[in-house]
A and B are shown apart, each in its own frame.
Chain A
């Protein structure tokens, strides 16, 4: 790929579609972020995407995310000026200049967060993230797996509130402290996580995931245009696997410790008629079982797609009667290493299960 290139608006729309699929049912719908970028592009702003391999080892990279409750995001809408604030705070606090901005999470609306900040600040977006999907907690990142420093963190809201978490004893402590501040300012805040050097990004980042999400979105859109099956096209292009096709027959949700937990049961159609597939979720889909035999778990990307349109269906929007296909996309290799599974394997989500890849021979 070219080391640095301009991103067009239709690529951002494809990114939104692809990121929603990589969200594995969570991560929040990127619709508002997309609208913001459309407005910024109308004003003449353009964002560039930079290959992380072009970073110098001592470059600094900002790692941004929007933190909070998806429901709050439906009322207090994403704002590019706010997205840019913690990045400026971090530069001032550390006395560094950033070479570029990356997302902590390519799954869901956070895939577009660095674009919002980048459009305001005139910096490129770095083509990488730290999850390769969406996860519910801040310690579930490749940087945490790599044992990198969890601090400092800057957080800003739409008023004049700015918070710096200077140190935290662990990634989990960082999650607790920053979550507290986030709830206090209304359960929605823009953050800049512990910045990374170019060397750290190249070593521990999940690389080229922005390009991947754009590619996913394009494959789906192209298949729809040609009236082909978008799901088959997606799975072929990404080496994914379809596990089940059916109709949602039951959904139970509850909130515990700040998570949307629950399960959905899907009744088989076509060649899966007579079988039931059960999906357990904690914000994102975590475990999938066919007739009570576990078939797929985190960290592989369990995704539920509308069987006709190929559009991803979130854990908050699943409902009775939907025709869906359960599919799995491969996880970034780092996440399925022994060290990776400690942070993001089934046990990290409270399931007493060994991880076994859907793609294992």
Chain B
């Protein structure tokens, strides 16, 4: 298997080639306004290093922060028609009810409340109003809205109303994009609907971007299939992924955690990714980031769907070190950010940063060490402050008292102390600066199910959920033989009769080579 992983960040576009579980080559280029140019350049640099890979590579995996940035920066968003199925229930809290006003003003198209939806046990609340749905679909066609979000009460348990709604929408408006909430999120109507609305708002952007990615590949002479990386550390075929851009929201930090797992060979560990301004702390379980169980805010919107559990703190290589009377009073959260190379003392700047402290103490070798004219005691005090910030953050993410290894990645990894409470060892890895792209290159395909089962035993509930998860993974491009279960979680539900049990199962497998055009190779290719 030979794969190329590309990480398209806000500043850099990184690419790596991985063959037979080894990093063969890596490149770092600048992200361009049009995205495509940056990728073409990165691929060209990679091809220049390893001749012939354009023809032999099996798959290209791209991770991007483009979609989440669109929401955070309120750019490139489409207006959305919101269909809520559930009347007469839940009508007092309509779609967009808890959105920040500025974002709602950009995204809210028309809102259509429709009768229907389900009870927790699968009964209908009231019969689905198909005629009302058809009228809504015609209004949507006339309004010129191109994207619809559909959320029905209890759809993760009973998808029928949403599926019927899609049928009607496609009949009436053949060109329209439809996002169903059952495909996006979990139990919790508002959070799931919010994620669905966000998806509908960026689906047009996602299609344009994905096509640009595909074009970049073509321009580079690569015919291998394109995958996009997802929040859970897996990939989906571009054709599927472009319909669910919200699933790529957290692919940046996720990819660096997965990359850290691969580069260190550790499956269960904590990961610290130290950037210029912030540090993300995550937790690897069976090689995947642990998922957040609760509401995650994206651009001020409360959402409930598959996202990694991350803790971000305001500490990075560019963090400002503030002192008063020879004492360190604060490190971060203010940072010189991407201007590190002009602002930091070691680069002839005028600002004392975390990087300067590390260089002066001999922890890193950057710029001119002699430019840091700060006494030893102050430097040590800054180091202690940063160490305790990281220690606290790491400890908060630990789930177990037993000591665990910690993998340090990112441009500011040198800030991570070599010994920490509750940590068995601090692991540094090769290629840590491109851990993101490595995480993309090694990503597998997943299928996840989160559903409530009533009236069946625990084992049967888990068995059924696992079968459904496998089906989803294969539909997403995984080879059935390679599937393995990476997560099983069950939670009994208070009050519900019949021993109701909420079960979450996730399986992953290798990306299947499509149509045998690129069969997996037994040996490394000649280019390696």
**Contact at B93–A255, with CB atoms within 8 Å?**
no
**Contact at B496–A71, with CB atoms within 8 Å?**
yes
- Min distance, Cβ B312 to any Cβ of chain A, angstroms: 15
Q: A72-B120, A317-B294 are in contact. Are A77 and B495 (CB under 8 A)?
A: no
**Contact at B494–A259, with CB atoms within 8 Å?**
yes
**Contact at B90–A77, with CB atoms within 8 Å?**
yes
Contact residues of A between 57 and 95, Cβ < 8 Å to B? 68-72, 74-81
Q: A36-B93, A76-B89, A249-B401 are in contact. Are A316 and B396 (CB under 8 A)?
A: no
Query: A186: which of B91, B119, B400 is its contact (CB, 8 Å)?
Result: B119
Please give, as numbers and ranges, the residues of chain A lying within 8 Å of B91 by CB-CB distance: 79
- Min distance, Cβ A45 to any Cβ of chain B, angstroms: 12
Q: A186-B125, A260-B492, A317-B294 are in contact. Are A32 and B93 (CB under 8 A)?
A: yes
- Min distance, Cβ A198 to any Cβ of chain B, angstroms: 31
**Contact at A320–B189, with CB atoms within 8 Å?**
no
Query: B398: which of A70, A316, A321 is its contact (CB, 8 Å)?
Result: A321
Tell me, in angstroms, the Cα distance from A253 to B501 when the chains sit together.
11
B497 proximal to A (CB < 8 A): yes
Tell me, in angstroms, the Cα distance from A220 to B403 when the chains sit together.
35
Please give, as numbers and ranges, the residues of chain B lying within 8 Å of A81 by CB-CB distance: 92
**Contact at A77–B400, with CB atoms within 8 Å?**
no
Q: A260-B492, A317-B294 are in contact. Are A323 and B88 (CB under 8 A)?
A: no
**Contact at A253–B97, with CB atoms within 8 Å?**
no
**Contact at B397–A321, with CB atoms within 8 Å?**
yes
Q: A39-B92, A69-B120, A159-B88 are in contact. Are A75 and B495 (CB under 8 A)?
A: no
A187 proximal to B (CB < 8 A): yes
Instruction: Classify chain A's interface size.
Output: 35 or more
**Contact at B89–A255, with CB atoms within 8 Å?**
no
**Contact at B188–A75, with CB atoms within 8 Å?**
yes
B482 proximal to A (CB < 8 A): no
- Min distance, Cβ A162 to any Cβ of chain B, angstroms: 14
Tell me, in angstroms, the Cα distance from A186 to B120 when the chains sit together.
7
**Contact at B92–A187, with CB atoms within 8 Å?**
no
Please give, as numbers and ranges, the residues of chain A lying within 8 Å of B399 by CB-CB distance: 320-321
**Contact at A158–B88, with CB atoms within 8 Å?**
yes
Tell me, in angstroms, the Cα distance from A157 to B495 when the chains sit together.
17
A183 proximal to B (CB < 8 A): yes
Tell me, in angstroms, the Cα distance from A75 to B188 when the chains sit together.
5
**Contact at B90–A319, with CB atoms within 8 Å?**
no
Tell me, in angstroms, the Cα distance from A158 to B91 when the chains sit together.
10
Minimum CB distance partner of B156 in chain A: A75
A361 proximal to B (CB < 8 A): no
**Contact at A75–B493, with CB atoms within 8 Å?**
no
Please give, as numbers and ranges, the residues of chain B lying within 8 Å of A255 by CB-CB distance: 492-496, 499-500
A258 proximal to B (CB < 8 A): yes
**Contact at A75–B187, with CB atoms within 8 Å?**
yes
Please give, as numbers and ranges, the residues of chain B lying within 8 Å of A70 by CB-CB distance: 494-495
Minimum CB distance partner of A34 in chain B: B98
B293 proximal to A (CB < 8 A): yes
**Contact at B125–A159, with CB atoms within 8 Å?**
yes
- Min distance, Cβ A7 to any Cβ of chain B, angstroms: 19
Tell me, in angstroms, the Cα distance from A29 to B500 when the chains sit together.
21
**Contact at B97–A39, with CB atoms within 8 Å?**
yes
B526 proximal to A (CB < 8 A): no
Q: A35-B98, A319-B293 are in contact. Are A69 and B125 (CB under 8 A)?
A: no
**Contact at B89–A79, with CB atoms within 8 Å?**
yes
A141 proximal to B (CB < 8 A): no
Tell me, in angstroms, the Cα distance from A89 to B497 when the chains sit together.
28
Minimum CB distance partner of B123 in chain A: A186
Tell me, in angstroms, the Cα distance from A68 to B187 when the chains sit together.
16
- Min distance, Cβ B454 to any Cβ of chain A, angstroms: 11
Please give, as numbers and ranges, the residues of chain B lying within 8 Å of A36 by CB-CB distance: 92-93
A283 proximal to B (CB < 8 A): yes
A267 proximal to B (CB < 8 A): yes
Tell me, in angstroms, the Cα distance from A75 to B399 when the chains sit together.
30
Please give, as numbers and ranges, the residues of chain B lying within 8 Å of A225 by CB-CB distance: none
The digit string for B494-511, where 1 denotes a CB below 8 A from any CB of A, is 111101101000000000
Please give, as numbers and ranges, the residues of chain B lying within 8 Å of A2 by CB-CB distance: none
Minimum CB distance partner of B90 in chain A: A77
Query: B496: which of A69, A74, A79 is its contact (CB, 8 Å)?
Result: A69
Query: B189: which of A77, A158, A259, A316 is its contact (CB, 8 Å)?
Result: A77
Tell me, in angstroms, the Cα distance from A158 to B126 when the chains sit together.
10
Please give, as numbers and ranges, the residues of chain B lying within 8 Å of A258 by CB-CB distance: 494-497
Q: For B88, B120, B491, B499, which residue has the most chain A Cβ atoms within 10 angstroms? A: B120
B153 proximal to A (CB < 8 A): yes
**Contact at B153–A74, with CB atoms within 8 Å?**
no
A254 proximal to B (CB < 8 A): yes
The digit string for A219-261, where 1 denotes a CB below 8 A from any CB of B, is 0000000000000000000000000000101000111001110
**Contact at B494–A69, with CB atoms within 8 Å?**
yes
The digit string for A277-291, where 1 denotes a CB below 8 A from any CB of B, is 000000100000000
Query: B492: which of A159, A183, A253 is its contact (CB, 8 Å)?
Result: A253
B190 proximal to A (CB < 8 A): yes
Please give, as numbers and ranges, the residues of chain A lying within 8 Å of B497 by CB-CB distance: 183, 258
- Min distance, Cβ B117 to any Cβ of chain A, angstroms: 8
Query: A323: which of B119, B154, B396, B493 is its contact (CB, 8 Å)?
Result: B396
Tell me, in angstroms, the Cα distance from A253 to B489 when the chains sit together.
12
Please give, as numbers and ranges, the residues of chain A lying within 8 Å of B190 by CB-CB distance: 32, 77
Minimum CB distance partner of A249 in chain B: B401
Q: For A79, A186, A319, which residue has the most chain B Cβ atoms within 10 angstroms? A: A186
**Contact at B495–A158, with CB atoms within 8 Å?**
no
Q: A35-B97, A35-B98, A39-B97 are in contact. Are A75 and B492 (CB under 8 A)?
A: no
Listed in ascending order, the chain A residues whose CB lies under 8 Å from chain B are 32, 35-36, 39, 68-72, 74-81, 158-159, 183, 186-187, 247, 249, 253-255, 258-260, 267, 283, 316-317, 319-321, 323
Q: Which 8 A-B pairs have the closest CB atoms?
A: A69-B495, A260-B494, A255-B492, A320-B399, A77-B90, A186-B119, A74-B188, A158-B89
29 contacts between A and B (CB under 8 A): A32-B93, A35-B93, A39-B92, A69-B120, A70-B495, A71-B452, A71-B495, A71-B496, A72-B120, A74-B189, A75-B153, A76-B86, A76-B154, A76-B189, A77-B89, A78-B92, A79-B91, A80-B92, A159-B88, A186-B120, A186-B125, A187-B119, A247-B395, A255-B493, A255-B495, A255-B500, A259-B494, A319-B293, A323-B396
What would 16 more interface pairs be, CB under 8 Å, given A71-B452, A159-B88, A255-B499?
A35-B93, A35-B97, A69-B495, A70-B494, A71-B187, A75-B189, A76-B154, A158-B125, A186-B125, A249-B401, A255-B494, A255-B495, A259-B495, A260-B492, A260-B494, A283-B494
